[in-house]
Amino acid sequence: MGVESRHQPASDSRRQKVAGGGGVKADAHFKDDLGLDSLDAVEVVMSLEEEFGFEIPDNEADKIDSIKAAVDFIASHPKAK
């Protein structure tokens, strides 16, 4: 086992938890439940923009603080792919 596998950055382990399901519920809050910091939240928004093909304005991005908020925003956006 190499040093890399034992010292995985925290953000990578959080990504794996979210991506793998890991018991994440729809109402999971990014900071309180998933341990994401503000930079992680920005990365989530950027990933949503890339995945769904439109820019999310900063004032709307600030409101996306949970899985449910992200899903609701994307579901209600007319430009979502």
Any idea which residues carry the catalytic annotation?
Answer: 37
Inter-residue contact 1 to 8 (CB < 8 Å): no
The alpha carbon of 66 is separated from its chain's Cα centroid by a whole number of angstroms, namely 8
- Facing residues of 66 across strands? 29
Distance of CA 28 to the CA centre of its chain: 10
Judged by DSSP in three states, 81 sits in coil
